[in-house]
Structure 1
């Protein structure tokens, strides 16, 4: 028989450090941190920050301020970044730039109890999620951002919003709140409201699939078509509402694909609820 088993090696906890801005440099702390670390951040950290390894950033009343130059937070491919209780603001990208607040370049970003606001970009004023990227927004806000396309969010990957709000964003073309292109978009217990664009004031869905569960698209405005939603991809709305949106045509939904309404309502939109007539089964007026 063999001898006694050697005791198991004790688990090594991921290191936790506190970064006090502006006295300490957040990018230096990110660069110096071991993969899997947690950085607790206080104060206002000004600059453009790139996350190159698996990290958790937890704000203790913290703001990440881009100072109007470049993307505030960039997450590289293959990286898992958890951003909790942070305000991400004042990112500024030129007309060809992607993601004023957050640019996810193929990583996995989990945004929790955070706010992405007052950022500007060519595509994805608040958040740009690239091909292969995953973004999960939990109990967070994307608000008051501006872009040529996708005022609040430009999604080219997989995006899920839970208990979140996309509000007050502006696009010069498509998707005031969200522009979803050949990508997976799901909203659960979330709101898209008070956004503006030429087409798709709330959401512009190009290629889908898009799914709304227990969610609202309301009070959005399009100068063209689709005040609430303009969709050229499959969309399923379950126990959701599209209401009080305004457009030239399709105040609630402008449909060029397949829309399924499951225990959902499209009502009180201007000048009509759905267009072209008969394109959305169950939608009248």
Structure 2
């Protein structure tokens, strides 16, 4: 989250990629024995080298860090200041459970890190180098904080944490620089707001992006964003939060959770990029994620978009927005008041909004506050809005114009079938503009469209 992005972040709370330089052919290669002092010495030597350097770690070694780097107490290894490639060869770099809290790696603005076949484990961020002067109290990047250039391939980030009493982001990876992540697993990481003030936040349990970034052919699974109960705070982007241009391709995003009792829980994939930046998600799947906010607001189980976003050929299934005695919206996809979403050739199926004694709207897709949704050739199937002793509307799609009344939804050649709600099993239109063009809306319960006559071209 760069300084220029802070207003957008606050706005989100209230309401393509630059190429990574290729490794030079003449890079020096050093084999690092299975020893933390040897690894520290190798990084220091690489930083002092005028050219690129390659560090080959000992095969499947565990480098167990027991103390932070003296030069930067918030980080375990020396900061990356030069052009350094780490070939892990299956090695693990971890913070010992008995050690003080610190992240594993920090890449400075002049640094170029390439990380391959390495596990980064157990990092615990206590600061945010990019913000430490202007925005004290923000904590970021439990595994890696990158303010330079970072390329991660075939690696794993496991059990890293970012925790703050002000604002925490990037449980595993925080990227205010230029970054890419490919063929990498990011699992079991946490981002935590532990303060007591109102409207704190925890964002991006797996990845928080504030600089251009791509994520390709990776897995973001089982990551958790949490906030202190009943502070009205925001837990969002349990898998990834984008505050800058982001591209996600052929990636599995599954079983992540945003949890905010009495606050705001937002989706596994959350977008608040300032204009004109865009989040693009192509291929892959967003499945079995949960946004849970008892007596609060759960806004999007799979995707929550409040900026420019394109989603194409993605399976969005089995996601949940849950808010007992609260408001749950957008089990699969939610479009916020400033959101513009182009959704094409995707499957939105088996998603659920559940709000016992509350309000549940938009089991599959929700556009309730004046956003803009264009949806073409999608399958919206078997989604559910349910609220025992409450209100449940729009099993497939819920639409309202918001305070401005200007929200619009344009549907073209979509199939909206076998969805279920208390009313408007297929589509519930409260207000706003809605157009249909060759869509199939049928076999929804208890009706296809509601209120009667509100959806032109749909019999009800």
Q: What is the TM-score with the length of structure 1 in the denominator? A: 0.87
Q: Tell me whether 159-168 or 245-254 shows the greater mean CA deviation.
A: 159-168
Say whether residues 1:52 and 2:176 are aligned partners.
yes
In the other structure, the counterpart of 1:15 is 22
Q: CA deviation at 1:39?
A: 2.5
Flag structure 1 segments of 5+ consecutive residues without an equivalent: 1-11
Q: Which has the higher contact order (CA 8 A, sep 6+)?
A: 1
| 1:65 aligns with one of 179, 187, 191 | 187
User: Cα distance 1:66–1:33, how it changes in 2: closer, same or farther (>3 A)?
Assistant: farther
CA distance in structure 2 between the partners assigned to 1:40 and 1:18 by the alignment = 10
Q: CA deviation at 1:191?
A: 1.4
CA distance in structure 1 between the partners assigned to 2:454 and 2:427 by the alignment = 9
Q: Deviations over 1:249-281 (max 9, x none)?
A: 000000122211111111110000000011111
Say whether residues 1:228 and 2:396 are aligned partners.
yes
Q: Tell me whether 235-244 or 15-24 shows the greater mean CA deviation.
A: 15-24
In the other structure, the counterpart of 2:437 is 262
Q: CA deviation at 1:107?
A: 0.5
In the other structure, the counterpart of 1:238 is 412
1:82-97 map, 5 Å:
82-95=214-227, 96-97=234-235
Conserved 8 A contact 1:144-1:167: yes
In the other structure, the counterpart of 1:28 is 105
In the other structure, the counterpart of 1:174 is 329
Conserved 8 A contact 1:87-1:115: yes
Q: Equivalent residue of 2:105, what SS?
A: helix
Conserved 8 A contact 1:152-1:169: yes
Q: Equivalent residue of 2:237, what SS?
A: coil
1:54-203 map, 5 Å:
54-59=178-183, 62-70=184-192, 71-76=205-210, 79-95=211-227, 96-104=234-242, 106-121=243-258, 122=260, 123-132=265-274, 134-147=278-291, 148-172=298-322, 173-182=328-337, 183-197=339-353, 198-203=360-365
Conserved 8 A contact 2:93-2:104: no
CA distance in structure 2 between the partners assigned to 1:217 and 1:18 by the alignment = 44
Q: Equivalent residue of 1:97, what SS?
A: strand
Q: Deviations over 1:183-217 (max 9, x none)?
A: 10111111111000121101110212101111111
Conserved 8 A contact 1:18-1:39: no
In the other structure, the counterpart of 1:9 is none
In the other structure, the counterpart of 1:6 is none
User: Cα distance 1:50–1:68, how it changes in 2: closer, same or farther (>3 A)?
Assistant: closer
Q: Deviations over 1:136-182 (max 9, x none)?
A: 11102111111122111111111111111111010021111111112
Conserved 8 A contact 2:385-2:420: yes
Q: Deviations over 1:194-249 (max 9, x none)?
A: 00012110111021210111111111000100000001121111111111100000
User: Cα distance 1:282–1:18, how it changes in 2: closer, same or farther (>3 A)?
Assistant: farther
User: Cα distance 1:185–1:30, how it changes in 2: closer, same or farther (>3 A)?
Assistant: farther
CA distance in structure 2 between the partners assigned to 1:22 and 1:273 by the alignment = 55
CA distance in structure 2 between the partners assigned to 1:23 and 1:146 by the alignment = 30
1:199-218 map, 5 Å:
199-206=361-368, 207-218=370-381
Conserved 8 A contact 1:38-1:56: yes
Backbone CA RMSD of aligned residues: 2.3
Greater radius of gyration (CA): 2
CA distance in structure 1 between the partners assigned to 2:177 and 2:187 by the alignment = 21
Conserved 8 A contact 2:245-2:273: no
In the other structure, the counterpart of 1:8 is none
Q: What is the number of residues matched between the two proteins?
A: 269
CA distance in structure 2 between the partners assigned to 1:281 and 1:85 by the alignment = 41
Q: CA deviation at 1:44?
A: 5.0
Q: Equivalent residue of 1:116, what SS?
A: strand
Q: What is the TM-score with the length of structure 2 in the denominator? A: 0.55
